[in-house]
Structure 1
Amino acid sequence: RHVMRGYWNKPQATADVLDPEGWFATGDIGELSADGYLRITDRKKDILVTAGGKNVAPQAIEEKLRMSHLVENAVLFGDRKPYIVALIVPNLETLKPWAEKHGMPTSDMRSLLDNPDVVAAYQEIVTDVNRTLARFETIKKFRLVGEAFSIATGELTPTLKVKRRVVEKRHHEILASMYTEESSFESWA
């Protein structure tokens, strides 16, 4: 509260971020812990509102996916859609040794990501995360993306946060296919 008086000569910009009592709207979503600490859990602009009107905070779910040693990155989508979908970037440093240990060839990325055993491993990760979620939050379909998100491609900020809208624009065909196909998986190397 009372962080600033406003933006210099920009009354509309000031009105957009300061309420009448002087509280500054950061766009963060948080929760208070039992001992009174505020923990930032998401960004308001990232909240997905499904076609059924349910609000889904994607960052916590994405973080659960990233906890797997086989996942480098994950981004959820589903704004104004009937269900939640995910793009998953495999952690190639751990996937390749895992695949070799299980007798799979690793020279061709597309073949590796299409391998039914690899798909099953990622489906298990998604299923495990889904068990911790409310039904409307669960990931119904996912795709493995063979190219890591990067600052150079504009998909990551300099602090390595995912730019959801850039990823959505770059992979719009993949995302659209998840709402028109019957299967729950397909890789895109």
Structure 2
Amino acid sequence: MRRGLAWALIVPLAAVGVLAGHAAAYALTGASLGSGHDYLAHAPQIVAVVALLALLGAAAEGRRQRFSPLPIALFGATAFAVQEHVERIAHTGDLPFLLSTPTFLLGLGLQAPLAVLLWLLARRLLTGLRRQPRRLPPALALLPLAWLERPALVADHAPRGNVPARGPPSMLR
């Protein structure tokens, strides 16, 4: 669940990073956005769909113990390349070779620092989610801030040690 939460937070940010890298590449190269970018008005819906796909992907990933940064690093570059190709196909009807265009190369290059930042953010989120929240110091517990303390969980008070298996009471066995 925690990994799913991290993915649900990171992937929409990655989608925003892809859109930001896209806009920056066009601005830095002086290329015209033209009529092929009308869909960008629907960017919030695109980010919402990507967030849903991230949750589904995190659920399908299972419970691997080690967090791999590779999918996050590849997400931005792949999404940018797909976005550019779909734009060109929709606008001209032809499948272009974009590796020779400066706008595509710059946009693809801008995805690398964004991927590093998102990877660091994902690691920070996952390590923060693994840690248990600290209790308030006794001096602060006297203040009205005591309600901020994490409520005690049932598992915190569960018996430890040799606990009988689940089943009917022992007198009925």
The answer to whether the superposition gives a TM-score over 0.5 is no
Higher strand share: 1
TM-score in terms of structure 1 length: 0.27
Say which one has the larger Rg.
2
> Greater RCO between the two (CA within 8 Å, min separation 6)?
2
